[in-house]
């Protein structure tokens, strides 16, 4: 059965290690901007990690380095001990905007990556399985403009997941949604994560969202960014992962993260390329 085949990643796949990462940009006026400095992280296969920090500190820059869309100025990033040198289908990426092709229906949007890789025939059945997984069954022939924002992001998730990536990178994927839809989508992302066991790394500015979703929260400093502190959140799947947003533990974690993020007056102006 397709569903059984797609349910879990193979054990030990999806480990990320970043060592001594530095990233510099040359601005149009010739001056250097240091986005990341001496950043070191280890992410275990199957973990859900949220990155949080001041605007413009380099969270999205780090995500793009893992995606292979940019290269570090210093240091190296490895996926399952293989050096990341560029983009690869084993890393899925979902942006804040759905970035669906407006001229393609939902089925063809989700199947697009498989067709580009010329593996659509072998994985044709997976397209419908992921449409079902994200709750879009019945909307296969709909076009992006006919969907709500939440539904469009579901389609983006399916498109990223259909290639069976080892790691899913989420760059503020819920930032443009209203509060109610956002909370529903958080639950959907958690459900997919539990079913797929895919390593997930998500950038967010929402402290509550980070606590609700992640095993660990990486709190980043202002630019040049590094990891200020790693906050452990109770892990586990199924019933053991249930988190109440108004519980004492949840509120204590929120207070702790907000205290770490108290960089009032220290945050430099954001740069468009960070």
> Cα dist. 222→38, 55, 59, 225, 228 in Å?
13, 8, 10, 5, 9
Neighbour-count burial for 31-45, b at 16+ CB within 10 Å, e otherwise: eebebbbebebebeb
Number of Cβ atoms within 10 Å of the Cβ of 101: 13
Three-state SS for 271?
A: coil
Q: What percent of the chain has pLDDT over 70?
A: 88
- Residue 151 confidence (pLDDT) above 80: yes
- Residue 222 confidence (pLDDT) above 70: yes
Q: Are 153 and 137 in contact (CB under 8 A)?
A: no
Q: What is the pLDDT of residue 225?
A: 82
Q: What is the pLDDT of residue 98?
A: 79
By DSSP bridging, strand 48-52 and strand 32-43 are: unpaired
How do residues 154-212 score in pLDDT, each as one tens digit?
A: 899 899 989 889 999 999 988 878 888 888 889 888 988 988 889 999 999 999 999 99
The residue whose two tokens read 């997930």 is 200
- Residue 58 confidence (pLDDT) above 50: yes
- Per-residue pLDDT band for 235 (boundaries 50, 70, 90) equals low
How do residues 94-119 score in pLDDT, each as one tens digit?
A: 988 778 999 999 999 999 989 988 88
Query: Which has more pLDDT, 38 or 240?
Result: 38
Mean pLDDT over residues 129-140, rounded?
A: 91
How do residues 118-128 score in pLDDT, each as one tens digit?
A: 888 888 889 99
Mean pLDDT over residues 18-44, rounded?
A: 90
Q: What is the pLDDT of residue 8?
A: 47
Q: What is the pLDDT of residue 11?
A: 53
- Residue 31 confidence (pLDDT) above 70: yes
Q: What is the pLDDT of residue 26?
A: 87
- Per-residue pLDDT band for 242 (boundaries 50, 70, 90) equals low
Phi, psi at 149, each rounded to 5°:
-60, -40
Q: What domains are there in the chain, each with its CATH number?
A: 1-90+169-274 (3.40.50.300), 99-164 (no CATH)
Token pair in block for residue 68: 């292979």
In this structure, of 2-6, 146-150, 252-256, the range with the lowest mean pLDDT score is 2-6
Who contacts 157 (Cβ-Cβ below 8 Å, separation ≥6)?
94, 134, 173, 188, 189, 192
């Amino acid at each position: 059965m397709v569903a059984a085949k797609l349910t879990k990643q193979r054990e030990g796949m999806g480990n990320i290690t970043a060592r001594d990462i530095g990233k510099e940009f040359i601005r149009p006026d010739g001056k250097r901007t240091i986005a990341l400095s001496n950043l070191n992280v280890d992410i275990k296969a199957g973990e859900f990690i949220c990155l949080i920090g001041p605007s413009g500190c380099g969270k999205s820059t780090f995500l793009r380095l893992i995606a292979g869309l940019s290269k570090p100025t210093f240091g190296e990033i490895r996926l399952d001990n293989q050096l990341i040198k560029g983009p690869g289908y084993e890393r899925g990426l979902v942006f804040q905007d759905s970035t669906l092709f407006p001229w393609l229906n939902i089925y063809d949007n989700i199947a697009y990556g498989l067709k580009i890789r010329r593996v659509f025939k072998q994985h044709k059945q997976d397209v419908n399985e992921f449409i079902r997984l994200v709750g879009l069954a019945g909307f296969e022939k709909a076009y992006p403009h006919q969907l709500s924002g939440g539904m469009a992001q579901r389609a983006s998730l399916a498109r990223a997941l259909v290639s069976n990536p080892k790691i899913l990178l989420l760059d503020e994927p819920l930032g443009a949604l209203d509060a109610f839809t956002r909370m529903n989508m958080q639950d959907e992302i958690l459900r997919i994560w539990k079913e797929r066991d895919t390593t997930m790394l998500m950038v967010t500015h929402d402290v509550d969202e980070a606590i609700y979703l992640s095993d660990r929260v990486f709190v980043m400093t202002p630019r040049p960014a590094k990891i200020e502190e790693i906050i452990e959140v109770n892990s586990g799947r199924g019933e053991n992962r249930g988190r109440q947003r108004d519980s004492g533990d949840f509120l204590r974690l929120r207070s702790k993260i907000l205290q770490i993020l108290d960089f009032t007056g220290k945050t430099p102006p954001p740069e468009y390329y960070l």
